[in-house]
A = this chain, B = another copy of it.
Amino acid sequence: MVKVIVATGDPGSTRKWCEVMRRGLPEFEVVAWDAGAEASGARYAVVWMPPDALFRRETGLQAVFNLGAGVDHLMGLPSLPDIPVLRLEDAGMAAQMAEYVIHSLAALSRGFDAYALQQARRRWAPLPVMRHADWPVGVMGLGKLGAHVARAVSGLGYPVAGWARGPRRIEGVRAFHGAEQLQDFLGHTRVLVNLLPLTPQTTGIIDRGLLAGLLPDAVVINIARGGHVVDEDLLAALDAGRVQTAVLDVFNEEPLPSGHPYWSHPRVRITPHVAATTLETHAVEQIGERIRRLERGEPVEGVVGRDTGY
């Protein structure tokens, strides 16, 4: 029987995933990572922010499945062997990301936040009709998640630009790529949505220079990683009015420390890293199907490139 080890860095979460996988994939033997135990002899690991010790102990692993879209933590582990690292493809995350972005965007563009304040004062005052042309959206990162979000926002009538490392074609989206087209992309962007992978090249990319390139009255929505943002630069841009609102789901330190200025900033909205969570059933189905393919020696989708880090 093929053995699978689950390691998430959090015992409760590891237990939960073991249960879900045993229920959904009864043909595999599923064991939980236990720091004090012997090597389990597992052929596959299903992980989310696992300890490095996992890879020192479990030396028979053939592949690692990452329970989420971001692989930055995993790729940084010194003992990660040279075996395929597989990322879940979507698993419902794209739709959740789109929902998060639409909610954040509409709260501002359609005035829904303003209407909530009006209600508190029993005030009936329709705002001037919103024109989509006044709210151009720019999506950084055009992988599966970014492309889906770009399409969803475009479908609502917003002009949408996109930026990625290399050239992309997405219907209804004006695509830019590479460092040389970044300024041009920013010049088409009032609402910046970050969905980049976190790599050495993208760390700190949302800094003073980038924010200065956005259209006036800018909005920053970060649902990728906290490490993409230089916090002091974003706070300065908010205070200078360069950025009118920041909607942040991810932070350089999580949980966000209680003394952090983001908490009380009147134009920062905080959610606790919930923009998209892996939907268990989708995830388990994908993992099962890919393990079966690997066991048959067939190619699988979602392998992370070692050179690019995504």
Contact residues of A with B, CB < 8 Å?
A: 92, 95-96, 98-100, 102-103, 106-107, 110-112, 115-116, 118-119, 122, 124-127, 129, 155-157, 254-256, 258, 263-264, 269-274, 277, 279
Contact partners of A271 in chain B: CB under 8 A: 112, 115
Contact partners of A112 in chain B: CB under 8 A: 103, 271
A130 CA / B272 CA spacing, docked (Å): 14
Q: Does the CB pair A115–B273 fall under 8 Å?
A: no
Besides A95-B155, A99-B106, A102-B102, 15 more A-B contacts (Cβ < 8 Å) are A96-B157, A98-B156, A99-B156, A100-B106, A102-B106, A103-B112, A115-B271, A119-B269, A122-B263, A124-B254, A124-B255, A125-B272, A126-B272, A126-B273, A127-B274
Contact partners of A157 in chain B: CB under 8 A: 92, 95-96, 279
Contact partners of A155 in chain B: CB under 8 A: 95
Contact partners of A110 in chain B: CB under 8 A: 96, 99-100, 103, 274
CB distance from A250 to the nearest CB of B (A): 12
Chain A to chain B: the 10 pairs with minimum beta-carbon distance, closest first: A124-B255, A103-B106, A124-B272, A122-B263, A115-B271, A119-B270, A126-B272, A122-B258, A129-B277, A95-B156
CB distance from A13 to the nearest CB of B (A): 11
Q: List 12 A-B contacts (CB under 8 A).
A: A96-B156, A96-B157, A98-B156, A99-B156, A102-B106, A103-B107, A112-B271, A118-B272, A119-B269, A126-B272, A126-B273, A157-B279
Contact of A115 among B92, B156, B274 (CB under 8 A): B274
CB distance from A14 to the nearest CB of B (A): 15
Contact partners of A102 in chain B: CB under 8 A: 99, 102-103, 106
A98: nearest residue on chain B (CB-CB)?
B156
Contacts known (A95-B157, A157-B95, A269-B116); A274 close to B111, Cβ less than 8 A: yes
A124 CA / B249 CA spacing, docked (Å): 11
A5 CA / B115 CA spacing, docked (Å): 34
A106 CA / B271 CA spacing, docked (Å): 13
Contacts known (A116-B269, A155-B95, A157-B95); A274 close to B126, Cβ less than 8 A: yes
Contact partners of A270 in chain B: CB under 8 A: 115, 119
A104: nearest residue on chain B (CB-CB)?
B112
CB distance from A300 to the nearest CB of B (A): 24
